[in-house]
Amino acid sequence: KGTFTCPLLQPFTVYSVTISLPPSTILYTRLLRTKETVPDKPEKLCLDPSTGSLQWKALPSCKGEIIGYQLNITARRAHDGSFLEFKQVLVNQSVTQYMPSHQTPGSKYTVTVQGLTVAGAGAASLLEFQSYVSGNG
């Protein structure tokens, strides 16, 4: 009585709501936007071997306005897995690559990248890579 529910609305989408009486009397009309949700996980996370930079595909603003990306970078010794360092980096929404600072030879890196909206951080993309000890050339 007096309530109408619309299931399966998409997040961060504008809908037009109109209540009318036939044949042409409009009682109420309004544009409403559904709330933002966390974004999907970034796709195509990779390490460019020629530059050493991390790259990913920009997220669309389907579930909310992308305000940035969060990177979590963990370094461990490759030979025994012991912890070396952890770094969290926030970049703005226009950035789709990041050059990690000094990579320690013989270390294994685990990187996650998450998109951010005002609703929070989305699912993480994961990449693992190892930096090798280079020989004297």
At 82, which CATH number? 2.60.40.10
Domain-located, residue 33: no
> Total structural domains in the chain?
1
Q: What pLDDT is stored for residue 49 in this prediction?
A: 86
Q: For each of the chain's 137 residues, which pLDDT tens digit applies?
A: 677 788 889 999 999 999 889 898 999 999 999 999 999 999 999 999 888 899 999 999 999 999 999 999 999 999 999 999 999 999 999 999 999 887 888 899 999 999 999 999 999 999 999 987 655 44
Domain-located, residue 11: no
Q: Which domain holds residue 116?
A: 46-131
CA distance 29 to 20: 9
Domain-located, residue 16: no
pTM assigned to the model: 0.83
Q: What pLDDT is stored for residue 32 in this prediction?
A: 93
**Does residue 59 contact residue 65 with C-beta atoms inside 8 Å?**
no
Cα 5–chain centre separation: 30
